[in-house]
Structure 1
Amino acid sequence: MRATQEDPTAAPPTFVVHSLRQALAAAEAAAATERALDLITPEGGLSCQGPLFWAEVQKRLGTTAAGEGVVLWVDAEDTPGLALAALRCGLGRLIFKGPEEVATKLEAIVTAAGGILLRARPKAQDLLEEPDPASAVAARLRPAPARRPPRQR
């Protein structure tokens, strides 16, 4: 995925979002904790809701306080036409799980357009069952408390 400023080798936490409400709640939590995060569409989400829906989600995310700290990845599954439609709608972070020969050609197109193509879905926490997505995201984004060494007596 992408590195963070704190640790250039670590990818930011990733969350599966199913709606605009969940995406905005995640962005709100990212802004409150001043941390970056990645969002990903559910499997089949791009084909069910369509690239224009996710393009609008991406647009709205760009207007939040988190701004560029939140990146939306869309899963085109194994459908190259869906990936190309997403690219035409301005979605430049794509996941494609189709045949290698097709993926190689698609990656060249995506890269030429300034996007990035992943070949597998990253591990992500799904926000579907979370009653309060913002709290779930904030809890994961909060840094772990530093461990204190045992007191010497």
Structure 2
Amino acid sequence: MSAPVAIAIHDLKQGRAALDAARRLSVPVALRTAPGAAAYLGAGYLAALEDALGVPLLVDCGGDAGLVMAALRAGSRRLAFNGRHDVAIKLQSMCGQMNARFEWETRPPSCLVLAPGDDPLRRLVLHLRE
């Protein structure tokens, strides 16, 4: 089985469409939020989005440690952070205590970033051809 294609989404409609496109193409996917989404969508919304999708969602908190902690409190258990190394070490410890997966991203993630209004099926097909 091939590695999942990471797809960055903005909302429930886009997440469902991305999952449907992946099923139609028989391609494994891993959903994550758009870059820095925790800052403008909010930790509570993203935890509810993951629940509504019924699949794990990697929450991109950018370089804001407070957003990582807010996402943990809201119930998210897969978190990405791109801030300072010393802060990442502390956040990783906190996440470990809460059985959460923590990813310290030292460079932009390699993923298909859907823009609002994109057709996930079309974009996924194009992405797979690259």
Shorter-chain TM range is: 0.7 to 0.9
1:15 to 2:7 alignment: yes
Are the equivalent residues in 1 in contact too, given 2:8–2:35 (CA < 8 A)?
no
- TM-score, scaled to structure 2: 0.84
Are the equivalent residues in 2 in contact too, given 1:30–1:141 (CA < 8 A)?
no
| Aligned sequence identity (%) | 30
In structure 2, the gaps of 5 or more residues are: none
1:41 to 2:33 alignment: yes
Q: Offset at 1:41? A: 1.5
- TM-score, scaled to structure 1: 0.72
Deviations 1:115-152 (A, max 9, x none): 11111142011111664213433x2697x8xxxxxxxx
**Cα distance, 1:36–1:140 mapped onto 2, change above 3 Å:** farther
1:118 to 2:103 alignment: yes
Q: Offset at 1:44? A: 2.5
| Larger strand share, 1 or 2 | 2
Aligned equivalent of 2:70: 85
Q: What is the number of residues matched between the two proteins?
A: 127
What is the alpha-carbon distance in structure 1 between the residues aligned to residue 28 and residue 21 of structure 2? 10
Are the equivalent residues in 2 in contact too, given 1:13–1:141 (CA < 8 A)?
no
What is the alpha-carbon distance in structure 1 between the residues aligned to residue 65 and residue 99 of structure 2? 17
Write the letter of the residue equivalent to 2:120: P
Q: Offset at 1:47? A: 0.6
Equivalent position SS for 2:58: strand
1:76 to 2:61 alignment: yes
Deviations 1:7-27 (A, max 9, x none): 5xxx31011112221111111
1:133 to 2:115 alignment: no
Write the letter of the residue equivalent to 1:91: S
Are the equivalent residues in 1 in contact too, given 2:7–2:114 (CA < 8 A)?
yes
Structure with the greater alpha carbon radius of gyration: 1
What is the alpha-carbon distance in structure 2 between the residues aligned to residue 129 and residue 52 of structure 1? 20
